[in-house]
Copies of this chain bind each other. A is one copy, B any other.
Amino acid sequence: MSSKNYYDVTKWNVGNPYEDIGEVINSIIADIKKRQTDSNMNEGGKPGAVIYIPSGDYHLRTQVVIDISYLKIMGSGHGFVSSSIRYNLPENEWADLHEVWPGGSRILVDLSPKPGDEESAGAAFYVERDGNPRISSVEFENFCIDGLHFVDDGSGMPNPENTYTNGKTGIYIGSAQDSFRLTGMGIVYLEHGVTIYHADALSIHDNFIAECGNCIELRGWGQASKITDNLMGAGYKGYSIFAENFGGLLITANNIFPRGTSSVHFRNVARSTITANRFHSFYPGMLVFEGNCSENMVSSNHFLRDNEPWAPMLEYDNGLDDLYGILCISGNNNSVIANHISEIIHTQSIKPAGAKPVIIHIVSGKGNYISDNHIVATTEATDEQTKASDSCFSAQVDALTTTDKLVALDVTAVLVEKESVQNTILDSGSEGQVIIDRTVNAFRATPVPGV
């Protein structure tokens, strides 16, 4: 690896990457900028560089600031382990663990943002550049960003490591950018995994982003991007995927597990696509379209909402009740077609008590098209509380695959509020399961067996 544009953080001549990889990477970036000064030399001149992070533990005490295009930062391992499970073990069991911490090419985010600081102050990687062109083609690949600890958030949660709060962000992109790539990363125990303003042609592909307060937030506005093939799951009070003022976002092939206040939350997003994903959550509001969300497509997804099975998290949820809807939609001309939606909950967990849960809730707007969705709502015949388990994994597998003791639960398959008109609801619920004003909406009931 003799090229001047290839840097190994363990071989750079400034700083100690194990003590502060931020200082090292910033020094490397300064070197690239010092060497690549001519933006138009022989039809080239600023190709950028790759910074390689070998497997290892690297403390980051200085924020990395990226303001050059074509920088690739890559490691040799996403290094995820469940810190949440570990932090809910008795400390005296830690000595028996094979390993305590995440691994791979691992950045330990040792920043200490203060209350009142800008959110970006807590970012391990901060990208910002004004002027033209937009900063382009920065790539993050196959390393681990570990926020290390959550902290007391004042909520009284007994174990502060369960708060999903620490003011830290993995990657924060503050200015408009083009054709960025995040691939094969592991991102864990950060209040914000990835926060990106003004994205264009962004690819977030094949990452592992879990046990973060929020996983992916696309803010400001943006277009023509994709979030594909990721394994993700946010904390109980954050988003797994959030986007606002976006057009042409493609969310597909993701497996998004609990918790997450929502799996996908759109605010004023248009002409975007959510398809072929698997979503699992413990609360209502799995998919939320807020404000004017229009002409979006939600198809061929599998939604599962069931009850929290893990003892340390039993007390917490996203605060929404069962009348909110598993899917809650505001806006015009959206399509919800060919989805499977399972709601498998204990009757005593329903809020408000005795309410009939709502599955698809059309809150406002017009022209939405809800068709050919299969809604399965059941409860356990014995209706015993799931035995909360200390083992997040075995409890979940058990809950996920237990389907044989279930009896039907009465739900509102589709609720169309009075404020919303000219919608078309087809084959998404039987006569008795859909609440809709037929004088201003179109409705065709799913045929009922034996009728």
Contacts and interface: CB of A to CB of B under 8 A. Distances in A.
Interface string A134-173: 1111010000000010000000000000000000000000
A324 to B, nearest CB: 21
Contacts of A11: 2
A296 B304 CA distance: 10
A447 interface: yes
Interface stretch (A113-121, A248-256, A314-322, A345-353): A248-256
A85 B81 CA distance: 42
Contact of A295 (B176, B206, B342): B342
A271 to B, nearest CB: 5
Contacts of A139: 77-78
A184 B54 CA distance: 20
A238 interface: no
Contacts of A184: 181, 183
Among A226, A276, A367, A371, chain B packs the most CB atoms within 10 A around the CB of A276
Given A43-B108, A183-B206, A393 B56 contact: no
Interface string A374-412: 101010000000000000010011011111100000000
A104 B47 contact: yes
A257 interface: yes
A35 B164 CA distance: 33
Contact of A106 (B44, B178, B225): B44
Contacts of A242: none
Nearest to A226: B255
Contacts of A422: 449-450
A265 interface: no
Among A72, A77, A222, chain B packs the most CB atoms within 10 A around the CB of A77
A259 interface: no
Interface string A1-12: 111011010110
A40 to B, nearest CB: 4
A338 B397 contact: no
Contact of A1 (B8, B137, B441): B8
Contact of A250 (B40, B106, B210, B278): B278
A132 interface: yes
A292 interface: yes
Given A80-B137, A103-B47, A131-B96, A6 B229 contact: no
A76 interface: yes
A66 interface: no
A64 to B, nearest CB: 17
A86 interface: yes
A80 B136 contact: yes
Contacts of A340: 273, 295-297, 299, 335, 337
B208 A106 contact: no
A451 B441 CA distance: 8
Among A104, A200, A369, A396, chain B packs the most CB atoms within 10 A around the CB of A104
A450 to B, nearest CB: 5
A302 B393 contact: no
23 contacts: A6-B76, A42-B59, A44-B101, A44-B108, A69-B99, A70-B104, A72-B104, A78-B139, A86-B133, A96-B132, A98-B129, A206-B206, A226-B229, A226-B278, A268-B401, A271-B304, A275-B302, A292-B403, A297-B302, A335-B340, A422-B450, A424-B446, A442-B448
The 3 tightest CB contacts between A and B, nearest first, are: A247-B400, A44-B57, A70-B103
